[in-house]
Structure 1
Amino acid sequence: MPDLRMPLLAVAAWAGALGARWGGWWVPGLAIGVALVLAAAGARREDRLRTALGAALVLAAVAAVTTLRTEQLERSPVAGLAAEGAAVQLVGTVSSDPRRTEGRYGPVVVVRLDVTEVTGRGATYALSSPVLVLADPAWESARLGATVAASGRLSPSDGDDLGAVLSARGPPEELAAPDVWWRGAAAVRASVRASVEHRPDAQRALVPALVDGDDTGLDPALADDFRTAGLTHLLAVSGTNLTLVVGFLLILARWCRVRGRWLYVVGAAGIVGFVLLARTEPSVLRAAVMGTVALFAMGTDGRRRGTRALGVAVVVLLLVQPGLAASAGFALSVLATAGILLLAPGWRDAMARWLPRWAAEAIAIPAAAQLACTPVVAAISGQVSLVAVAANLAAAPAVAPATVLGLTGGLVGLVWPGGGRLLGTLAGWCVAWIVAVATRCADLPTAAIGWGTSAAALAVLTVVVVVIAGVGPYLLRRPATGLACCAVLVVGVLVRPPTPGWPPDGWLLVACDVGQGDALVLNAGAHAAVVVDAGPDPAAVDACLDRLEITTVPLLVLTHFHADHVDGTAGVLDGRTVGTVESTRLQDPPAGVARVEALADPAPAPYGSVRQVGQVSLQALWPPPDSPTTGPGDGSTANDASVVLLVEVQGVRILLTGDLEPAGQAALARAYPGLSVDVLKVPHHGSRYQDQDWLLSLGARIALVSVGEDNDYGHPAASTLEPLEDTGARVLRTDLDGDVAVIEDGDGLSVGTR
């Protein structure tokens, strides 16, 4: 039987961290009071009370640390200057690799600094505070571990583990180079990338991701396939990585006749080296600790030792980094490890009655880990993967050789580049199999099912998980019931379940619920559609098109190149025949243009001419043919270059406006006076920046707002929606209504929602 005392202390530690985070200062006091009461009553039932007292003390300690950490950040000089929006000069150590991302107004580099000195408002302070830096691409050269000076303006941070956010001005000034171990780790990471530089794109990106979590250059569509197949853990640093690397080192050490306590030294050196290679960020430290727990579980009496190690690991991590308590990644790591330790042995023993033990174990481990993580995965992604167990089972034989060969290729490449490339080729071949598994599994009809993220939906799912965990061994111990469970799962994956009432008869237009972005589908005939924008997520738009049973897209129009309109393009292309791809004339922002051009060859939407695509008639009203093709990288400029389409389907006039800003709306009003439509796609997700007179003059009966739930932009604005509603227009939002369909069924214009 596993020893559950330390896991109970871990639960208490987690409760303490979350209680102090959300409950305030009173939580530690309450916990200490409970501990004193238990101590006073401890003369009777000594064993139980000792565990209860320990839990109360652990809860109090973690709650106190969390409260102190929060108070320290909130009352630091950095936080005070951020509250005033002060311009400052900082000195700090780079604590994360710079990561380039697409911001609202162009590319942004994100990097963390551990600030040791800040000067602002005429005073200089020495301190220790983490700060997130948002900077221009010049910061991509910042080296991890280097001491740098920077200037900019501080603003408050939303994260509990950050003192402030710095909007940096200009490049950083390096004051001191990174220490030798950081330079060595950087050299190995660069050598790993170089060893697979000659391989195809997917292999070139995935080998470093497996070895050290470096997912630079990973295709978003491929990442989405991994997510759908339940293989996302292979794209980031996880406990599995450390287990494989350190386990390989221990095997080498045994071959070299290292014995006894020296094996612990080798293992400790491997753990430290792995952390340096993968970076000392909280996610890496978490993965290293969970990997160490797995190593404990591999020894004799592994189940008992593993659960003890897991409990100790959680308590120690929350004492050191209490912010991990609210981290989904931390929860997934702990739950996966707990599932393997607590559920997998029973499932393995049940199946071992009629399967070879190695096969039973191969099935039980990924199944138990996936089941334990299911509620958290659903809360994050809104879906439950049905192919995760099969995908992990199929990919598992290639994961270890790909990781070990990739790391060895990086090490050998430091002294012999040719040998490094040879090993990198072998690692690439292994990764090719993993890619094939992910893409094939993701393409199955019901690879994943949508699941709500409400408290009620997650509570129901948690109950289902608990029931499956309890009855699993009883169902799996007999071949008949075990094979029947497998058959039900296989049929569920291969046969797409019907969606009653969807798509509705007579649908003309569907605004897909793709989060914070646009994806609009116009009915062009049987299983055919004109798609306008692709949203930010390939999976979301792909699922919407699947629900509409669209197999052919004769025309794809991308109104402009912001990520929330084009990043899902791969989802439109996936498994469908796609004809012409059109876009705006303005080739900005460059990152969005590059993402689209990697998948298609877009042509500018022809201005003014009326075209017929199936039963869809459409005319591009904007931008005009003399509009610029290059821009200043200003987000508003790109928005105002959005392709605006006037569409007619079965006599219903629809205006699709992209993210057109007030200036563009006013210009459109001058160019097309008296324009009227039946359906309006409200510009820019219902932003408050609108030419209200023009919007109201269109006379739309239905207004659609494509917007993401709880977005950071304040979309949609009441000042935009209320005047439309006052005209009698029916306003529908994808964040509240899901997929929204405009329907003409012979009885007039109506709407349907999913």
Structure 2
Amino acid sequence: MAGSPRSTSWARSAASGTSSSPRSGPRSVSEIAGEQPGIDVRLLVPALVGWICVAAMLPCRPVVLALSAAGFAGLGVVLMHPRWRRRSWATSVALTLVGTALCLVATAAHSSVREAGLVPALAAQRATATVEAGVLSDPRVVQTKGVRPTELVIVRVSVRTVVGRGQRSESSTPVLVFGDMSWAQVRWRERVRVSGRFDGADPGDDVVAVFNPSGAPQAVGEPGLVADAAEHVRSGLREAVSGLPDDARGLMPGLVIGDTSRTPQSLTDAMLATGMTHLSAVSGSNVAVVLAAGLGLCQLVGVRRRWRPMVALVLLAGFVILARPEPSVLRAAVMGVIGLLGLGASRRRMGLPALSGAVLVLLCIDPWLSRSYGFALSTLATFGLLLFARPWGGWFARFLPERLKTLGVAIAIPVAAQAMCGPVVVLLQGSVTLIGAFANLLAAPLVAPATVLGVSVALVALVSHPLAVLLAWVACAPTLGIVWIARVCADVRMGTLPWPDGPPGAFLLAFVTIGLLFMAPWLIATIHARPYAVAALGVLTLAAAWPTGGLVWPSPSWAMVACDVGQGDALVLASGTGHAVVVDAGPDAEAIDGCLRRLHVEVVDAVVLTHFHADHVDGLPGVLHGRVVRQILTSPVLDPSFQVREVQGWAAAAGIPMQPMYSGDQLRWGAVQAGVLWPARVIHEGSVPNNASVVLSVHIGGLRVLMLGDVETVSAHQVLLALRRDRAYLIGGGFDVLKVAHHGSRLQDPALAAEVRAPVAVISVGADNTYGHPARRTLDLLRSSGSQVFRTDQRGDIAVSLDSDGRILVSTRGR
């Protein structure tokens, strides 16, 4: 071994699979992983480095990407020179550099194609145009909340022809369409023509622009034979399950074809809370189940072994077409195949190299997967399955009766996946799911029958609708079992653990996970040696961590609360016992009424409506319900007029006076003092109502809050100039809390964030909103300015107060 290259020493030692006797003491995680013969990590580092580089450089121009690729490739070629190649690390580093260069070249090529044509320029100018586009996804209907609920349809298209500003161009540019219900009828792969207005997307997004159509789409091209056939199968499944209970009717199409349009929102929330969302859409596990069932059927009917790979490929192609060959489905298909490969006995050693190679290939095909949470979750879950499922399964099997030892791997799969995916889940939810592994473990035996029976329903529906309906009721049993597990586990107290959000929280959990993995042998040995002491310590730890304080949320000294009202703003300022000032009231009347009841607000000294958009005013009836409201203060810009009239009608019916606010106004309600910094004038660039938002500098006791409404970049800069002229701000020395403008949209002023540098930044935003709020670059801007970000879509109601020493305390109610 001394003469062998050092770069392969770890892989070879792992491949040796050296076992230790039960009495040889605890083994390290590397030894446990080493029980799997032939772990090959040579492609793992190139895949990881390539992934990081592509994700970091996605916003760069194609020329920058190409030059970077050339630099990486050049260094790789240099390291392959005989002078360097003798060094133990040179080959591994060269492989990493070449793999990264390949990914960056592919990214540059994709970016060049996307930037061709007129769309980027039209989006930058927010110009109108007429386009012909191919439909890339099924339409998704989103229900907006408020007094007047509306339906919005989201469709991803590829713009092929665009005519605007007197020019015409051909391209293949991905664009996200936000349309009315006329767009709900478009079909996958159909070609449509429509006019509308372009708007920009964030750099690094998987679409170049956003398109707001001015009318209904006109079909100018048919989807094609394959697309029509796939739609026929999908519609047959939907019709067959239409008579099932709501939860089964929504979940079964999600398991089989990735159609979640009928899934109740409460079920979606429960599956998110329990880490089971991968079951409600097409994932690698679904693909693996379908392939395993197909191959098992081949063995049963006597198909020769040499033909089975071909059958598997046909099954995979059919399943992908049925579920739509979008990036997420293609990713799930690849990960499902690799996961199946990793669990196979004869070719297990191929799993990790196949996963690493698949990551590189998928990044070359679609570089925007590098920023996809779904891609990260699939990759990490598959990695956990390949590395830990079998050794952990063997360990679990030791504690099972002889007849049940084969279930060890089934138990290990969700545990390994949950452990690997935890850091990414923190980025999504801002919390750690404690119940997730247990919920997935309970649901695991039901996933395969539900998926296989669901696929069977879709196929049988092609020949007999009554028989498909009967089979759907059979499939309903395991499907409702999954639903029951999700709903029960979602209600478990302490099912989620609050955790620092953003990259710091993700890195912290990754560090904790790695530490626990390496400490596992010692922990196991300690448990065996001192079981009663460990049990007592566990009980004491649980008792200390049990959140008894949460029963009286928020603390009696709360100063400000951001209510979780969905995609809108509703902030409450404590002006006295049972009294408050409400800043904005939208869009959900029931949600804001419930929030004020939880805060025991009986008298509202004032309602401040920063502007008249629905997501800030449509919940006003909830504020007025059952409590005294003394006055309503508004922006001086009465736009949009129909919502102004509606607010005026509510105020008149309740007998409440309304009056506008202007820059320079000073107001006081009990403990709350507020100065109006904006608006001083009307700004016509961008959204007039947003830029006319009332901006308040608020003092509540010792807490200083800057509330920005929905101001956009230009008006935010005017607020900065006003702050620099404000005597109270200059003397007081800044703000403790920043209410981030416009739900964290990309239209922020970096100079204002750098100036304010509030320790706490609050974003009022709806979960899974269709606007991309909060924007990634806004979150990065806030964190780089030293702010800790709290979001209502992740934390629920957010309360801010000061302790007796003047320190800022933030407590969240949870969702």
The alignment status of 1:461 with 2:506, answered yes or no, reads no
Deviation at 1:741, TM superposition (A): 4.5
**Aligned partners of 2:49, 2:567: CA distance in 1, in Å?**
37
Output the amino acid matched with 1:145: R
**What is the match of residue 76 of structure 1?**
117
Kindly state the Cα deviation for residue 379 of structure 1 after the two structures are TM-superposed: 1.4
Match of 1:451 in 2: 499
1:679 equivalenced with 2:675 (yes/no): no
Summarize the Cα distance change of 1:153–1:498 in structure 2 as closer, same or farther, 3 Å threshold: same
- Tell me, what secondary structure is at the counterpart of 2:456? helix
Describe the SS at the equivalent of 1:150. Answer: strand
Q: Residue 496 of structure 1 aligns to which amino acid in structure 2?
A: W
Which amino acid in 2 is paired with 1:466?
A: I
Matches within 5 A, 1:240-639: 240-355=285-400, 357-473=405-521, 475-476=523-524, 480=528, 496-498=546-548, 506-507=556-557, 511-512=561-562, 514=564, 517-518=568-569, 559-561=585-587, 618-619=628-629
SS at match of 1:5: coil
Amino acid at match of 1:461: L
Counterpart position of 2:43: 6
Is the deviation greater in 359-368 or in 718-727? 718-727
State the alpha-carbon separation in 1 of the partners of residues 711 and 298 from structure 2.
Answer: 52
Higher alpha-carbon deviation: 49-58 or 134-143: 49-58
CA–CA separation in structure 1 for the residues paired with 2:138 and 2:477: 28
The answer for the alignment partner of 1:740 in structure 2 is 799
Q: 1:452 to 1:166 in 2, by over 3 A?
A: same
> Does structure 2 conserve the Cα–Cα contact (< 8 Å) formed by 1:688 and 1:720?
no
State the AA in 1 paired with 2:672.
V
Q: Does 1:182 align with 2:212?
A: no
Partner of residue 134 from structure 2, selected from 88, 93, 100: 93
- Tell whether the 8 Å contact from 2:179 to 2:212 is kept in structure 1 after alignment: yes
Distance 1:491 1:645 in 2: 57
SS at match of 1:178: coil
> Could you say if the C-alpha distance between residues 289 and 532 of structure 1 is closer, same or farther in structure 2, counting changes exceeding 3 Å?
farther
Alignment match of 2:74 (pick from 33, 57, 65): 33
Q: Partner residue of 2:752?
A: none
| One-letter identity of the residue aligned with 2:297 | L
The residue that corresponds to 2:55 in the other structure is 18
Tell whether the 8 Å contact from 1:679 to 1:703 is kept in structure 2 after alignment.
no
CA distance in 1, matches of 2:381, 2:443: 17
Instruction: Tell me the C-alpha RMSD between the 2 structures.
Output: 5.0
**How many angstroms does 1:422 deviate by?**
1.9
Q: Give how far 1:211 is off.
A: 1.4
8 Å contact kept, 1:620–1:644: no
Change (3 A) 1:167 1:635: farther
SS at structure 1 position matched to 2:169: strand
Q: Find the counterpart in structure 2 of residue 650 from structure 1.
A: none
The letter of the residue matching 1:96 is: S
Deviation track 1:672-716 (CA, whole Å, cap 9, x = no partner) reads: x99945438999x99653467xx79999997767889xx996699
Calculate the TM-score normalised by the size of structure 2. 0.70
- Partner in structure 1 of residue 242 of structure 2: 197
1:689 aligns with 2:733: no
Q: Give SS of 2:546's match.
A: coil
Give the Cα separation in 2 of the matches to 1:456 and 1:266. Answer: 46
The percent identity for this pair of structures is 30
Amino acid at match of 1:679: V
Deviations 1:33-69 (A, max 9, x none): 2212211146754885444332221111111111232
| Higher mean displacement: 711-720 or 228-237 | 711-720
1:155 and 2:199 matched: yes
Q: Shift in Å at residue 18 of structure 1?
A: 3.0
Q: CA deviation at 1:243?
A: 0.8
Question: Shift of the alpha carbon at 1:460?
Answer: 2.2
Query: Please, which moves more after superposition, 206-215 or 724-733?
Result: 724-733
Q: 1:172 aligns with which of 217, 228, 231?
A: 217
**Other structure's SS at 2:361 match:** helix
Conserved? CA contact 1:561–1:589, under 8 Å: no
Q: Across the two proteins, how many residue pairs are aligned to each other?
A: 675
Question: 2:569, 2:587 within 8 Å by CA — same for their partners in 1?
Answer: no
CA deviations over 1:434-459 (Å, ceiling 9, x no partner): 12211222222211112112443332
Instruction: Provide closer, same or farther for how the CA distance between residues 176 and 47 of structure 1 changes in structure 2, counting only shifts above 3 A.
Output: farther
| Offset of residue 256 of structure 1 | 2.3
Cα distance in 2 for residues equivalent to 1:409 and 1:78: 43
- Cα deviation for residue 328 of structure 1 reads 1.4
Q: Distance in 1 between matches of 2:272 and 2:592?
A: 14
Cα distance in 2 for partners of 1:79, 1:296 equals 42
Structure 1 Cα separation of the partners of residues 180 and 115 of structure 2: 27
CA distance in 2, matches of 1:355, 1:712: 61
Which stretches in structure 2 are left out of the alignment for 5+ residues? 1-14, 16-38, 634-638, 680-689, 741-759, 762-789, 791-797
Q: Distance in 1 between matches of 2:700 and 2:562?
A: 23
Residue 799 of structure 2 aligns with an amino acid whose one-letter code is V
In the alignment, structure 1 segments of 5+ residues that lack a partner are 536-557, 597-601, 612-616, 624-630, 647-656, 658-663
* Counterpart contact for 1:85–1:155, Cα < 8 Å: yes
| Distance change >3 Å, CA 674–CA 454, structure 1 → 2 | closer
Distance 1:233 1:561 in 2: 30
94-103 vs 61-70, greater mean Cα deviation? 94-103
User: What per-residue deviation string (whole Å, max 9, x for no partner) do you get for residues 305-357 of structure 1?
Assistant: 11121112111101111111121111111111001111233322333344353
Greater Cα offset, 438-447 or 72-81: 72-81
Q: Aligned AA for 2:520?
A: G
CA 475–591 in structure 1, closer or farther in 2 if over 3 Å, else same: same
CA distance in 2, matches of 1:680, 1:422: 66
After TM superposition, list the pairs within 5 Å mapping 1:199-214 onto structure 2. 199-214=244-259
Amino acid at match of 2:659: A
Q: Name the SS of the counterpart of 1:666 in structure 2.
A: strand
Matched residue SS, 2:43: helix
Other structure's SS at 1:14 match: helix
Shift of residue 503, structure 1, vs aligned partner:
5.1
Scaled by the length of structure 1, the TM-score of the pair is 0.76
Alignment partners' CA distance in 2, 1:505 and 1:17 = 45
The separation in 2 between residues aligned to 1:37 and 1:499, in whole angstroms, is: 62
Call closer, same or farther: CA 1:505–1:49 in 2, change over 3 Å: closer
Deviation at 1:193, TM superposition (A): 2.0
1:507 is matched by which residue type in structure 2? S
Deviates more, 1:54-63 or 1:117-126: 117-126
Question: Displacement, 1:383?
Answer: 0.8
Cα distance in 1 between the residues matched to 2:530 and 2:309: 41
Show the counterpart of 2:179: 135
Q: Write the distance in 2 (CA, Å) between the matches of 1:393 and 1:137.
A: 40
Counterpart amino acid of residue 260 in structure 1: R
Letter in 2 for 1:740: A
- 8 Å CA contact 2:585, 2:592 repeated in 1: no
Change beyond 3 A, Cα 1:333–1:103: same
CA shift digits 1:158-199 (9 cap, x unpaired)? 254323322212111111221122112222222222222222
Decide which moves more: 256-265 or 335-344: 256-265
